[in-house]
């Protein structure tokens, strides 16, 4: 769970495991929007990734939209989905990743918004 404690446009999401990536080497970056970094991320591919086509997925707190990317292709940004709902200061966002089904459920203040 993540509690929104400051104004701005936070995005909360998940990304494929990349144990060899030194995230500290990058400043103010996005796993989705910074396409010039996608080759760096793809270089971390392991057999654990399987054959899925979503490498990173995020929930935009300012408007409730989602974004996702398949680093070998283009980004898919500002997408409406079944749970499109913004959040603000004091709200708590939770996520539940179901690896068996390949789904990511999003919760706002313990209420399920839907599946991205």
No. of H helices and E strands in the chain? Answer: 1, 8
pLDDT for res 94: 96
Low-confidence ranges of the chain (pLDDT < 70): none
pLDDT for res 90: 93
Query: For residue range 48-66, what is the model confidence (pLDDT) as tens digits?
Result: 888 888 899 999 999 999 9
pLDDT for res 24: 86
With the C-alpha atoms ordered 20, 96, 80, 85, is the resulting torsion angle positive or negative? negative
Strand order in the sheet with 103-108: 2-3, 92-98, 103-108, 111-115
């Amino acid at each position: 769970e993540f509690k929104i404690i400051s104004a701005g446009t936070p995005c909360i999401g998940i990304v494929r495991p990349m144990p060899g990536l030194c995230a500290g080497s990058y400043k103010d970056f996005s796993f989705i929007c910074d396409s010039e970094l996608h080759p760096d991320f793809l270089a971390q591919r392991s057999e654990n990734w399987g054959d899925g086509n979503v490498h990173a997925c995020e929930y935009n707190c300012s408007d409730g939209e989602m974004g996702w990317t398949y680093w070998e292709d283009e980004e898919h940004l500002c997408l409406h989905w079944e749970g499109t709902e913004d959040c603000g200061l004091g709200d708590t966002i939770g996520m539940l990743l179901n690896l068996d089904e390949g789904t990511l459920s999003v919760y706002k203040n313990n209420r399920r918004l839907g599946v991205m």
